[in-house]
A and B are shown apart, each in its own frame.
Chain A
Amino acid sequence: MLANYGYKDASGDFFITIDTDKCDGCGNCVPACPVGVFEVLDEDPNDPMRDEPVAVVSGEKKKKLKYECNPCKPDSDRPALPCVAACGEGAISHSW
């Protein structure tokens, strides 16, 4: 499942996509993110029949991604995003 967390508003598209078929719930993304965007849940709220834990974008952060993710996204000299780099399974991607 491609879980697109985030939003589109008049200023642009701000989605973090977690591919839950790739996510193994390891939790490496949780400490990698400086603003705590991710959490790992034992039960996937979007897939109740799943048995393994899964990473999700937590609660109110979903509505502020454009702002929360800013520190990792300088306009110039952009390094690899820490969350994307931390995920060994390549399950995380950003739309902007």
Chain B
Amino acid sequence: MAEEKKEFWRWTESNWKSPDINWNDAKYMTVGIDVGSVSSQAVIMADGKVMAYGNMRTGSDSPNSARNALKFALEAIGDMPEDRMDYCIGTGYGRVNVPFADRSITEIACHARGANFIYGPQVRTVLDVGGQDIKAIQCDEKGKVTNFLMNDKCAAGTGRGMEVFSDLLGVPIQEVGDRSFEFKGEEPAAVSSTCVVYAKSEATGLLRKGWTKEEVLAAYCKAMAERIYSLVERVGVKAEFAVTGGMAKNRGVMDRVMPFVGLERMKTEWDTQIAGAAGAALFGFALCKKGKGRKK
């Protein structure tokens, strides 16, 4: 297992294989690898259908994390040689560190394509809140991006910002969501500072005034929600609305974002963490079909 890292949410490493697909029958086998700041996924597709995937923690070394995720997915299949792969695409924050990839594509393109796959073609807006960035994407019925932004400059609203508060208050990150609703009476107003550094001093002041940890958490989750929504607003909200990324599992933040959005979140049977890697594998398939696959 990769080195112990702080978790932004509760999840377990896993791999999976489709019982119905045989790689011998496929024309193109493609793989997408998404190396994020916290977790890495490899999705193996046979002619654009998910055959297997692996989902692991990202270690301290990105190239190894990419390789481990791929190995994990291959283990699920068991009998397929690695060189059966026709095309491999790397994506995510560590995408340039996938040494065996044929090409790297931004997580923007891959998340939109992946969301279209796992949520269906009705998805128009994708919000992804990760450990170190916030992405807001609008896409068409084919999963092609029509408008996007990615905010990775500022920690406000990201998993890292949440982690700072979890440390400050001594509340384990996986308890933040539930505990942010454990206050009496009306919900406290949002922390007014956007900057995480200043929000921290503001929170220290609130604790000194006698606020409970839960009230401070509520106020911060609310501030995160306002911040996240202000970014979504920039690209615009169109139905249907899908959420991916680690923060999707933090109800303290997401239950406060959705009233701003005014739509229901789309649901899926798939593990939302594989969206980026699935999109990458689909692009691999599309490029192969277009005759733009690996030069042999």
Instruction: Give the complex CA separation of A88 and B230 in angstroms.
Output: 31
Task: Assess whether B231 is in contact with A46, with CB atoms less than 8 Å apart.
Answer: no
Closest chain-B Cβ to A93's Cβ sits at a distance in Å of 13
Give the total of B residues in contact with A, Cβ under 8 Å: 29
Interface residue ranges of B187-207 to A (CB < 8 Å): 193-195, 198
Nearest to B113 among chain A residues (CB) is: A48
Name the segment of A9-17, A27-35, A73-81 touching the other chain. Answer: A9-17
18 A-B interface contacts by CB (under 8 A): A1-B144, A2-B148, A6-B149, A6-B153, A7-B151, A9-B154, A10-B194, A43-B103, A45-B106, A45-B109, A46-B108, A46-B148, A47-B109, A48-B287, A49-B283, A49-B286, A49-B287, A63-B153
Instruction: Give the complex CA separation of A35 and B9 in angstroms.
Output: 40
Interface string of A46-69 (1 = CB under 8 A from B): 111100000000000011100000
Residues of A within 8 A of B104 (CB): 45
Any A CB within 8 A of the CB of B268: no
In the complex, which of the residues A3, A46, A48, A63 has the most CB atoms of chain B within 10 Å of its own CB atom?
A: A48
Instruction: Give the complex CA separation of A15 and B136 in angstroms.
Output: 14
Closest chain-B Cβ to A7's Cβ sits at a distance in Å of 4
Instruction: Give the complex CA separation of A82 and B21 in angstroms.
Output: 55
Any A CB within 8 A of the CB of B235: yes
Task: Assess whether A7 is in contact with B198, with CB atoms less than 8 Å apart.
Answer: no
- A interface bracket (residues with beta carbon within 8 Å of B): 20 to 34
Residues of A within 8 A of B212 (CB): none
Residues of A within 8 A of B193 (CB): 10
Given the contacts A48-B287, A49-B286, A8 and B151 also touching, CB distance less than 8 Å:
yes
Task: Assess whether B153 is in contact with A9, with CB atoms less than 8 Å apart.
Answer: yes
Task: Assess whether A10 is in contact with B198, with CB atoms less than 8 Å apart.
Answer: yes
Task: Assess whether A45 is in contact with B105, with CB atoms less than 8 Å apart.
Answer: yes
Residues of B within 8 A of A7 (CB): 151-154
Any A CB within 8 A of the CB of B145: yes
Instruction: Give the complex CA separation of A45 and B286 in angstroms.
Output: 15
In the complex, which of the residues B103, B148, B287 has the most CB atoms of chain A within 10 Å of its own CB atom?
A: B148
Instruction: Give the complex CA separation of A33 and B235 in angstroms.
Output: 26
Instruction: Give the complex CA separation of A84 and B154 in angstroms.
Output: 26
Task: Assess whether B149 is in contact with A15, with CB atoms less than 8 Å apart.
Answer: yes
Given the contacts A4-B235, A15-B149, A9 and B156 also touching, CB distance less than 8 Å:
yes
Q: Which of B103, B148, B153 contacts A4 (CB 8 A)?
A: B148
